[in-house]
Amino acid sequence: MEELKIGDFWGKGKYRKKILEIKKLSNGWIIIKTENSKSEKDFKVKVIFSIKPPHSITPKHAHFLIDFYGKLCADKTKALSVLKAINEVWHGENIEEILEKYKQQTSGLPGYPLEYILYALNWILEQEDINFKNRPEKKQKELDDVCKKTKYHSS
């Protein structure tokens, strides 16, 4: 794959945006952050499968949910390890350490590689933190209570 650099542009026409950050994955895919327009700090996450010809998508929450369902159907124990790894990323743990910790526990699962899931979701969650403003306190408490009832809650 050709080399991309921070400051280069990705996309065509009105979708052409400046690259702000780049993460190269071990399988050859590239995840990038590009400019976006919801706020001054807003960005968009893209995964690039091929530079020439250009082939990329904007990963969405639903993509990961569908992928997780496939993993659950294949092997519930291994899929729950993926969920634990995502939870650790959400709590700010080091992605490289999480990948090493869960490599064996998630090997052989269908769908997206764990490396892609963790790096992409890390940026997507960061993006949501930038763009999401003020959940009502009552709703936040309700969500926190639901999370605390699961055996995978880490706090």
| Nearest Cα to Cα of residue 127 among 44, 70, 14, 31 | 44
Q: CA 90, CA 122: separation in Å to the nearest integer? A: 7
In a domain, 25, yes or no: yes
pLDDT exceeds 70 at position 131: no
Burial 77-87 (b: 16+ CB within 10 A, else e): ebbbbbebbbb
Say yes or no to pLDDT of 65 above 90.
yes
Total domains in the chain come to 2
With pLDDT > 70 as the criterion, what percentage of the chain qualifies?
A: 88
Residue 18 in domain: yes
Residue 3 domain flag:
no
Q: Are both 44 and 79 inside the same structural domain?
A: no
The answer on pLDDT for 92 being more than 70 is yes
Residue 138's pLDDT is what? 83
Q: How many CB atoms lie within 10 A of CB 97?
A: 10
Q: Which residue has the higher pLDDT, 154 or 148?
A: 148
pLDDT band at 111 (very low <50, low <70, confident <90, very high): very high
Question: Is residue 1 assigned to a domain?
Answer: no
DSSP assignment, residue 39?
S
Residue 96 belongs to a domain? yes
Which domain, by its residues, includes 129? 61-148
Please indicate, yes or no, whether residues 23 and 70 belong to a single structural domain of this protein: no
Residues 108, 84 within the same domain: yes
Region 19-46: mean pLDDT is 89
Whether residues 80 and 129 fall in one domain:
yes
Q: Are residues 104 and 138 in the same domain?
A: yes
Task: Return mean pLDDT, the chain.
Answer: 87
Q: From CA 88, how far away is CA 118, in angstroms rounded?
A: 9
Do residues 71 and 109 share a domain? Answer: yes
Res. 130 pLDDT band, cuts 50 70 90: very low
Mean pLDDT of 65-87: 96
Task: Answer yes or no: is 154 within a domain.
Answer: no
Q: Are residues 77 and 115 in the same domain?
A: yes
CA distance 85 to 4: 28
Average pLDDT over residues 29-36: 93
